[in-house]
Structures are given as C-alpha cells and as structure tokens.
A and B are shown apart, each in its own frame.
Chain A
C-alpha cells in the first residue's frame, strides 16, 4: 500500500498526520527514522553593508565563508563534519556554480562536509532552512548549515548575447574561414557589457514599480509607510543597544553593525525624501528610498540540527522549525501583486497547523518595501479579498503591530537578497527562546510561536512557523 501523499490540509485543529512512510505499511524498505523535530541551534551573520560600502571588493564566497567561520567559532565546530551545508546567492557569477561547497572548503569546517547551492530569489535563505530541516526530520542528516549571501557591489557583468554567441561559435570553429565568419558577425555595440537587471523578465517592471501598483491597489499611505520604516530603524537600533545581536552578528571588514541603520532618523527626515516608485501612476507616489530597502551586501547562516546532535555537542536549542509553506501569485496578468505571495501562503500554512494569527507571539514579514508589509496586512484584514482570493469565510485576521518585526527588519538592516532568510530565522529563533524563558509562571508552559513570511521575485513567497524549543 502506498503511503498517502497528503502533505497539506488537515481539518483545522486536527493533529498533523504522521507524514510519509509509516513503518510497516509501506512496501519496500522503510525509511531510517520516523519524522522527528528539527531545531534551530543558532545563527551568525556579518553586518549588512550598503552597496559600494564596506564590502565593495568582497565576493559572495568571501562573505559566505566569513559568515560560516563566525558560526564555527560561536559553536565550536572547527573540523566538524556537518551533515550538509545548503546556501545560495541571487546575483551569482557563473564561476560560483559550487559556491556553498567552495565556501566550506575555505572555512574551518571539515573539508568532508558536503554542500550544495540553491536559489529561490529572495526566499533562497529560508528555503535552505526548509530543505535542511526536512532532511533532519527524515533522519537523512543530523546537522546542517543554511546560508545565503548576496553582493550587489560585485554583481556579475556578462557579455552581450551576440558577443557570447560569436565567442561560442568561434570556440567551435575548426577552420580559419569559420573562425573569421564567427567574428565577422560582431558589431561594436555587441562589445558593451550586460549588467544584471532586477526587472521582472515577463513584465519589464522593477520590483519597486510592481510594489507601487500593489501600494495603489491597497491605498497604502505615505505616512503609514514612513511610520513602519521609522519603527524598523528604531527597533533594530534598540536591539543592537541591548546587545541582542552580540551572539548573532560577527563584525567584518571593520563594520560592527548594519551600515544602513539610521538610529537617528525621524518621520520628518523620512517625509522629506522624494518618491522614487509609482511616479507614472494616477495615484500619489508614496514609495521613497526611506521606505524601500536599499541594495545591500552581506551573508547569513543558521545552524540547524536534531535534538540528539545538539545534546551530543552540548549546544542549547532555540526553537523548533515546525512547518513551511510556499506560494506564488500570477502577477504577470495583474491578478495579484508581485510581492503578495505571503498573503496566500500564510493562511494555508496556519490552516494545516490548526493555528490563527492570534497564536503567534511574533510575526516577521520581510520588509522588501514598507508597503509590502502593509499591503499584506491590509489584504488579511479585507473581508472581500479573503473571501474571493483566499477562499476564507471572512477576514483572515489582524496582526498586532507590537508583535510585528519586533527587532526591526530589512528596511533598517538592509536586504542582501539570499541572506535575508537566515537573518530572520536566527533572529526569530532567539526572540522565541528569550520569550519562552521570560514566560510568566501564570502562563504555564504555553507554546511561544513565530510566523515568518518572505516574499520573492517571480511572485514567490516562503513562509514558516517556528516554536520556542
């Protein structure tokens, strides 16, 4: 009898089915272990730098190696053979096809640590956590390091399509005539380099222009966006001041904390900035450099493991990585906004786990733009949207702002695309551990949970639930 393929919905509140193979009911060889939990042990990242800033000459491999080595130092992993390292970058040189493995080889980890690259736009970092924790839950590995890195300062520049074709034809040419013919097709303008573009390939719109459409659709005001941006800076600054990041961030290249952080910004300063996106729309342009994330360089890592591995290494565990859900929207035909995938993924994720928004102590919504967060919240509060697009009975719910991005997020920290997932997972796991430890005895041993939602290019989003261990 085949194991049921249900990996999704169970009736609300029902316990999750023991997924996949139940020993004894599956034909053939049973898996090594029934599913078990996977935990977040900790994380380490380098401070995020503004493009052209402190890491201007550092490569993706340099930064990822630095982030891994910081993690190794924190948790005493010198020479350790980790089950697997999964990491990726969004803007990637073609020579970096084995970026994760090359970074491992350059790190203090055992050179016998396997590694692989993955890429899911801005969800790369969190997807690495999802994949490694799944392997841990299945018993395939005992430990893993999920990583992400991006450099906009060292972005890959390619040659034009015509020059590339000519060069490839030239390399295949056998005769002098064929070689001359390959080169003869070239025109001077073919020699101009092709820089990577962040425009969506199918719409030609930049991410900011896409968000501007969504911002207009949900009537998100300039004031609301600036307030969210201000809160992000103030909360991140406060967390640094309180020493929260002391065991999450390792200085690199003389940079002690995130270069984009403006502890002294104010609503007045933010209000003075000129709008940069949505200028061509009939609605007011509200998105500025202040309430949008800047281009950033940086790297992050997260150490995940089985309980057994953590105990054997005498390491504490911060949180359980409970479940994850990805979603995608059809922004090409204007059905939903490019960055609204999270609005769809989260309700599915919570339904599967029998949870509501009120069951979460903290909610982390990646601040690609302030308006991305606000559009998502507006959608969840909108009865018509939730009925028509999410198939719910009414509004999905409201997120208490005191629980939202409590130590700041990407607007203040910056957003090196693939590194954001690791930053958020490690930050959330540590907050959960702190909150669990600080629970009032009257609350008993209630679960302390975090919800994470990270939007990505291509209409993608990856969302996850963490629970204090």
Chain B
C-alpha cells in the first residue's frame, strides 16, 4: 500500500504490484468474475440488491485504488516483432501503441478486482486517447500507474475510463507522464443503479460494436446522426473528460466528421489476413478470444474473429510516420469491428495542424474507426 493521492478529484490508494501481469491469466480470472458481476449489476439495476449507495461515494462505484508497477522494461525482440507487424521502422523509440501494450495489462488487472463493478469479458473498446509528451525508448526503465474513473451510464450499458500513465523511473510520481493513455470501455447491457445518466455517451455510434448485430447497427446510428449533428460536439469524447485529460489538447478531435460518414477518397487499403488477430496477440499479449479465431469469436457472439482495435489504430499511427513528431496526441474512436480476414479502405491525410484518419469498408462504406494524430 502506498500513499494516498488525488486523482480525478478522488483520493486513491496506491497499490504496488510486483510486475506487469499477463493478460492471459487476467482473462481467465476475468471470465470467472464476469458472469457474477454481470448478474449482480443487473440485479442492482432493479434496485433490489447490489452495492450500498455509500460505495458509490467518491469513486463513483469504482475501486479507490491505483495500481503501480515499477521498473518495467521493453523487450527488444518483442519490440521488433511489434514494429514489423504494425509497419513501424524498427527504431529504439517505442511506438505509442507499443507503450500501450506494455502498460495496459496493469489497467486490466484493475478490472479483474473483485470490487471492480464491471465484467472484464465482453467489454467493448469505444475510444482511446494517448498523449505522448516525450519519446520512450528501449532501455528506459518505466513506472506504470493505472486507475479507473468516469463510471457512467451509457445508452447500451455502462462505460468506464481506464487511465494509464507511464513515467521514466526516477522522474517522480508528480511529474507529467511521458505517456498517458485513456481507454474508454463499454460493458454492454450492464446497468448499475445510482450512476450519473445525465452525461452523454462517449460515442454516439458506440452500439455498432454490439456483438449480436454487427452488420446492421451503423445504419441505425447514422440515421440517428443525421438528425443530431448540432449536438455532435457535446457527444465528443473530449467534451466530458476531466481537465487533466485536456492538457495538450488543442480543441480535441472534430468528431462531427463522423456524423453520416461519407467515404472519402482512400489513400490506401489494408488486406488483413485471417491470422492478424493471432499475430497481434503474439506481440501485444492481448489474447482475448474474440480476436484469435472464428470458433473462439463465435462463442462470444461474433460471426468471425475481429481485428484488435488498437492494431488498426496503431497501423494508422504508423502510416502517419515521423510527421507525428516526438510529442503528440493520438485519438481513436471505434465504430464497427473489422471482421477477419478482410480488406478495408484507409485514409490518412494531413488536415491543417493534424493528421486525420479513417478506416472503412470499401464496399459498404460503413465506418470501422476514425481518429487523429495531433503533433504538439
């Protein structure tokens, strides 16, 4: 146990872990806990059980802890494999997406705690935002700290943000992290009584990630968008994150471009082989069964395996290339999952002070993800 410190307005107890946990083990633990939590949460939604209201105090229903792992190092061989798979140059600078796979298991560990209110398995990645203040390099010893915040009701369930901070060891816990990621997840169908419902959902097309009707939801979402473009700014993920997350944000991503997505001229295409999920699992450690094979994905309601969202976002970041500079903010919002194998159309283009990117189905025109990279 460490000292308490403020984070997002609530005091957190810092818990040091001996090392970065393996995601495989976490998923196994998460599997057992998920069913219990899902049931418990639904019961809670009916107001006849679940947590006492007091538990929702400062943390808003989230555990008041931050996990910390010290002295994390990147492995050169794994880094090279990651860089080759994602289309990055094999430089000694860790791609921002590689820092994510290095650090994120610490946040995942938080989600497997008994007192974490949402089930790990079946969580849908809605959005991700990374601020890189300065490059992290191979050989740096890193301190990784993760906490959860922003538990809110979402139209399709409950959403939460996992904040992961990476500092080069010895720079002090109060210093600005070299790398900071905010990952927004949705627990579909999970309702928790007493949550703030006044805040808009993080993403108005989030339910296209709905596992049960992958094929037809985005039409639904788009038709809704057409009538609501005037409020799209309110629904932008940057509009309701806390002030600390806005540091370095120069206006946030213009999510209004996602309203009624009209496919632009592509700048490229990705042919994604059936084993892309397994290969990214190999370099990232993210062995979530929805990415590994058609049979394992089917058990969780997908017709085929789907690409890791962070794989697609990281490829877009790689395509931006060196123009992203050493310090940048990299954002992504995920819409419809990319089924494997598959070919998708891609546009990565410089727009004023940033690079914007979009990935969509070239035939149907349906959006898979969109985001931007803003050099600081």
Query: Hey, which bits of chain A sit against chain B, CB under 8 A?
Result: 200, 202-205, 209, 213, 216-217, 280-282, 331-335
- Complex contact A280–B345 (CB within 8 A): yes
CB pair B362–A334 under 8 Å, yes or no, is no
Q: Which A residues are in CB contact (< 8 Å) with B270?
A: 204
Given A202-B87, A204-B271, A280-B362: A335 in contact with B350 (beta carbons within 8 A)? yes
Q: Give A282 to B348 CA distance when docked, in angstroms.
A: 18
In the complex, A330→B346 CA distance in Å? 16
- B319 near A202 with CB under 8 A, answer yes
Residues of A with C-beta under 8 A to B266? 205, 213
Interface centre among A282, A331, A332, A333 (most CB of B within 10 A): A333
**B291-323 interface mask toward A, CB cutoff 8 Å, 1 = contact, 0 = none?**
000000000000000000000000000011101
**Interchain Cβ contacts under 8 Å between A and B, 27 examples:** A202-B87, A202-B319, A203-B346, A204-B270, A204-B271, A204-B346, A213-B265, A216-B265, A217-B265, A280-B345, A282-B263, A331-B267, A332-B267, A332-B268, A332-B319, A332-B321, A332-B348, A333-B267, A333-B320, A333-B348, A333-B350, A333-B355, A334-B265, A334-B267, A334-B347, A334-B349, A335-B350
A333–B269 Cα distance when bound, in Å, is 12
Given contacts A213-B266, A217-B265, are A335 and B349 in contact (CB under 8 A)?
yes
B residues with CB within 8 A of A: 87, 263, 265-271, 319-321, 323, 345-350, 355, 362-363
CA–CA, A216 and B349, complex, Å = 17
Instruction: Identify which of A205, A216, A282, A335 contacts B268 (C-beta below 8 A).
Output: A205
Distance from A202 Cβ to chain B, minimum over Cβ atoms (Å): 7
CA distance A16 to B217 in the complex (A): 65
Given contacts A204-B268, A204-B271, A332-B321, 6 further A-B contacts (CB under 8 A): A202-B319, A203-B268, A205-B269, A213-B267, A280-B345, A333-B320
- Least distance between B67 CB and chain A CB atoms (Å): 35
Chain A residues with Cβ below 8 Å from B355 are: 333
- Find out whether the CB atom of B269 lies under 8 angstroms from the CB atom of A334: no
Once the chains are docked, how many angstroms separate the CA of A213 from the CA of B362?
Answer: 14
CA distance A203 to B346 in the complex (A): 8
B152 to chain A, nearest CB (A): 36
The A contact surface, by secondary structure, is loop
Residue of A nearest to B343 (CB): A204
Q: Which residue of A lies closest to B357 (CB)?
A: A333
Which residues does chain B contribute within 8 Å of A204, judged by CB atoms? 268-271, 346
Pick the most buried of A204, A209, A282, A331: most chain B CB atoms within 10 A of its CB. A204
Q: How far is the CB of B248 from chain A (nearest CB, A)?
A: 22
Q: Are B268 and A281 in contact (CB under 8 A)?
A: no
A409 CB → nearest B CB, Å: 27
A331 to B319, CA, bound (A): 11
| Alpha-carbon separation in the docked complex, A77 to B355 (Å) | 56
Q: How far is the CB of B268 from chain A (nearest CB, A)?
A: 3
Q: Would you call A203 and B269 a contact (CB within 8 A)?
A: yes
- Inter-chain CA distance A332–B350, complex, in Å, is 10
CA distance A202 to B267 in the complex (A): 10
| Complexed CA–CA distance, A117 and B346 (Å) | 36
Contact A334 B348 (CB under 8 A): yes
Taking CB atoms, residues of chain A closer than 8 Å to B346 are: 203-204
Write the chain A residue with the least CB distance to B271.
A204
Bound-state CA distance A203–B323 (Å) is 16
B359 CB, min distance to chain A CBs, angstroms: 12
Q: How near does chain B come to A89, taking the closest CB pair, in angstroms?
A: 26
- Closest A-B pairs by Cβ, 7 of them: A203-B268, A334-B267, A334-B349, A204-B269, A280-B362, A204-B268, A333-B349
Give the shortest distance, in Å, between B354 (CB) and chain A (any CB).
11
CB of A188 to closest CB in B, whole Å: 13
Q: Closest residue to B356 on the A side, CB-wise?
A: A333
Query: Which residues of B are found within 8 Å of A209, using beta-carbon distances?
Result: 269
Q: Please name all residues of chain B whose beta carbon is closer than 8 Å to the beta carbon of A200 when the two chains form the complex.
A: 268
- For A203, the chain B residues whose CB sits under 8 A away are 267-269, 346
**Cβ of A281: which chain B residues have Cβ within 8 Å of it?**
265
- Min CB gap A390→B, angstroms: 18
The distance in angstroms between the C-alpha atoms of A282 and B266, with both chains bound, is 11
**Complex: how many Å from CA A365 to CA B264?**
29
Distance between Cα atoms of A280 and B348 in the complex (Å): 18
In the assembled complex, the CB of B99 is this many whole angstroms from the nearest CB of chain A, namely 23
CB distance from A203 to the nearest CB of B (A): 3
CB-defined contacts of B321 to chain A, threshold 8 Å: 332
